[in-house]
Amino acid sequence: MPDVELIVVEETKWHAIPVAEILKMQSTSPEGLFDSEAEARLKQYGTNELTPPPKPSFLMKVFIQINNILIYILIAAAIVAGVLQDWAEVALIGGVVVINVTIGLVQEGRAEQAAAAIQGMLSSKATVIRSGERKLIDAKNVVPGDVCFIQAGDRCPADLRMIEVTGNCGILEAMLTGESNPISKHTDVCLPQSALGDRKNMAFSATMVMTGQGKGVVCGTGDLAEIGKISAMVSNVDSQKTNLMVQLEMFGRWISVFVLIIAVITFCVAYLVHDFELGDAFKSTVAIAVAIIPEGLPAVVTISLALAMQMLANNNAIIRQLPAVETLGSVTVICSDKTGTLTKNEMTVQLMQTSTQQYKMTGVGYSPVGVVQDENSKDLPDEKVARMLKMFEGAVLCNDAGIFKNLNHKNPNVPVAWEPIGYPTEVALLTMGMKMGITEVKDFKAQQPRVGGVPFASEHKFMCCVHAASTAPGAPLTIHVKGAPDRLIPQCKNQVMDDDLSKVGPIDENYWQDKASQMSGLGLRCLAICRADFDPKDLSDNMDADLLLKAPTPFLTMIGVVAILDPPRPEAIEGVAVAQMAGIVVKMITGDHPATATAIAKMLGIVDPKLQESSIRTYTGPELDAMDDEGMDSIVLECNVFARASPENKIRIVKSLQRRGQTVSMTGDGVNDAPALKAANIGVAMGITGTDVSKEAAKMVLADDNFATIVKAVREGRRVWDNLVKILLYNMPVNFAQGLSVFFAYIVDIDGHQVPLTAIQVLYVNMITSVTMGLMLAMEPAEADIMTRPPRRKGKRLFGKMVFWHCFFVSGIMVVCVLGNFAFTLGNIEKGAEDYAYEAEKAAVKMERAAEGGGRRAIRVPKTARLMEARAVAFNMLVFAEMAYALNCRFLKDSAFNFKMFTENKWCWVAIAVTTVFQIFLTYTPGVNEIFSNAPIGAASWALILACALAVFVLVEVEKAVGIYYIMPSVKKGCAPWGCCTGEDEQERTQSELNQVQFIASGASTFGLPSGTGSAEAGPRARLGSANPVRASSPGRAAAGASGRKV
């Protein structure tokens, strides 16, 4: 890799520089660049494209799946078995490894495609002015200093500093700022500290021009445009390692050390003490290693998560990465974008103020479902509604928007979707009219045709249209006006009285100003609706705003003021309440104005609705920019509303919460949300209104765009964690029992140190019995109190004190049962010729060693019929003891002696039936039982096995009843010095830090989270300065005017 100078860039604040200075800095003019200069700059700065992130190769992905110590132990065991030519064990162990790796590759989420999704949003063509002529070129060839022409319907090809604006140029920037309405652009200088949404002299790459047209100088291309910065942040943000992955890694380290210690001791005892042949000693060692390692656990965990993932998908929550299911259960803070997430991103008329009273309008969004209510929330009679429609008909007539039904929409839960055309504010007025009785907007407008008008412009802040009263020639004309109350109130002479259009009286300006101010203070957007009779003589094609502004005297009649808001979703209000009941804090992070954000937060219950606005502390993006990390950490927990937030602000808020020990879920739908979605412990994107960028950066996608679905997902995540604890509580004692049964067979002399279980038997138990029982536990329903308990403690271990204690208590009971049945069976079966020959050979070897005064000669242990029958008893004893213990594990604290054991989770009895059939098949089928070192057993043996299994069940239930009071406190105290059952260090461990951990649990290979791939690094960039450009040593894109310094 070539050496590259590190450049620290001080961003040029283009919005704070006058147009003349901009042109000078960019060495350009309103006539644009010459073609030769454009080509030179293209070579110097590179194309206007985003740098794609690197992708790991298939072999690297495979290596990531097998790069953990437990998989290595299994591979070593397979190699030893191969050297000993035990091909059945080689095949089974190899199959376990292949299954785990395959599951990991299949379940791996799609590669990081957020940057590619952003690339797809960029404009493909651009209209530039070069040498004074307009030219249509590929957008990738736009360079800093180009002058671009944009108009309604265009997507901005790069970041532009506007130098000319005509026709109320409005650009929709919701994808970057969260602002629902198009932003009217101008060329004036903005304050240097202006937030992204307040830079109204800038047009940003990939945003859509809704109205008007304009020209702008290119000042940011490719990675250095605002959308490019977001792409870089998405690529460079470290994905958070889930708690489950961390716990499995820690579990892998502990179990690996334990396995190696026990395996070495076993080999030494078998080979050096009991004179086993080298091959038999190795087989015994392999049997113990295979027995203790929970080979089936990765498959059980993966399938459990996959089942939960399917269940969530059926409830409109699509999980893109399996471990995210578990992470949901530990969420302590939900950071949510406002627009399109907590709200519908559909402006809605909330209030209608007349001279008589204030009316409410129900319904949310563009769907024309709702009614008009009085101040007492009572529905108005149809006659009164008809009068209200006649009064406010100007809001529909003086309107350039449209709305239509879309039956081919993406939300399966909504039979009819209403699609808007035009400004969201005007669409809201159309919906208002439809709620009051208009069936077809097009027909309604046709009955009163428009004959003239003045379009809206930010300079005068109103729109007026002249309409004929009917289609008849010579029909009287009426001028309808809508706009900012502060502009139209002074232009009014009268006001409608008693909500009757035929009654008018002198206007009370103070009344209307007070009402408009009150509603604006609630975060509502106010529009005044006025009208007046119009003289046909004044009608002309050159009508302009002076018609009102320069009228000799005010002549309009005030109809009323409508208050519009992008309101909260009703289900979001309920979801916030449920989340708070579950101990989860909801925070709103939006690019909208503070007043609007606060109003929505109060409606949602994110802040106390009873508080005055002055008592609610809302931090804005510029305020956060002025804080260092320490300052951010000091306020992030106490503040629940952040307004005018940029993408950088959102990431800082998420990381600050993580530093404060919180598990963070971030929801959003826009491009500006993508970096924070990726940085959060679990990012949640909107499936319908969300951009592809946000979906690719998130771990979960809401198919119904319903905030309440997140709460359902949290409930499922908590259930999954509980069931994972049950699975581990079941698996670990069982695996310990398997390994320790073999280990203690060497320590305790059972018929010449015979081994009760073979490697192939314990592999079968791990991969079939344990998986079957584990999947049964994964299907356990949620506990009754699951959404009333507080969130799980950060760093809480799966391998807790209960699992630790059961590894000794339960495995001890099982070891006694297995070895006891094994010894009892050997003692009650008459020895055969092979047994006597083996004993004679052992005695001869012992005499020979005594005569030689030392030395050793190992002998091979034969497979006798007596030994195979005893092993069959031990094998079945282990399996049936496991099934009994699985019933105990269904209830962590409650007793299993209840009707729920029979009425809930039908899969429990299916799993037991299937496992029993398999055991009978392996015990009595000729040929198959020989492979598994089994032989048919009698009724007496079965009676003893079932009695012992019942004893296991009863003893565990007794321990469950008294252990929580008398045993667990001592266990916790004893585990504390080892740190094996206590909470983890609160310091957040990112994925990049965890990549350095070499001892990864076997389960880690199955989850599909790349742990060996680095994030994309922003390549070196050349910078064009106003005078002395600073260049990196390799070519790249540039933003003109940026200055740098070497570090």
Amino acid at 295: E
337 is catalytic: yes
Cβ–Cβ < 8 Å for 777, 726:
yes
* Planar angle of CA 214, 216, 219, nearest 5 degrees: 155
d(CA 757, CA 338): 61
d(CA 385, CA 627): 52
What DSSP line would sit under 605-663, residue for residue?
A: TSS-TTS-GGGS--EEHHHHHT--HHHHHHHTTT--EEES--HHHHHHHHHHHHHTT--
Cβ neighbours, 10 Å, residue 994? 18
d(CA 472, CA 448): 10
DSSP state letter for 760: H
* Phi, then psi, of 275 in degrees rounded to 5: 60, 30
How would you label 951-989 residue by residue, b for 16+ Cβ within 10 Å and e otherwise?
ebbebbeebbeebeeeebeebbeebeeeebbeebeeebb
Cα 818 from chain centroid (whole Å): 46
d(CA 907, CA 912): 9
Cβ–Cβ < 8 Å for 81, 758:
no
3-state secondary structure of 139: helix
Q: Supply the Cα-derived Rg of the chain in whole angstroms.
A: 37
Cβ–Cβ < 8 Å for 171, 636:
no
- Which residues share a beta bridge with 149? 127, 215
DSSP state letter for 766: I
Encoded tokens for 707: 């905030």
d(CA 83, CA 984): 42
d(CA 520, CA 484): 11
In the chain, the N- to C-terminal Cα span, in Å, equals 19
Cα dihedral across residues 122, 124, 128, 130: positive or negative? positive
Cβ–Cβ < 8 Å for 159, 12:
no
Cβ–Cβ < 8 Å for 482, 564:
no
Amino acid at 745: A
Which one, of 726, 729, 773, 757, lies nearest residue 915 by Cα?
773
Amino acid at 940: A
Q: Helices (H) and strands (E) in the chain — how many of each?
A: 38, 29
* Phi, then psi, of 954 in degrees rounded to 5: -65, -45
3-state secondary structure of 668: strand
Q: Which of 154, 223, 280, 337 is catalytic?
A: 337
Cβ neighbours for 313, distance < 8 A, ≥ 6 positions apart: 319, 703
d(CA 793, CA 721): 12
Cα 1007 from chain centroid (whole Å): 16
Residues taking part in catalysis: 337
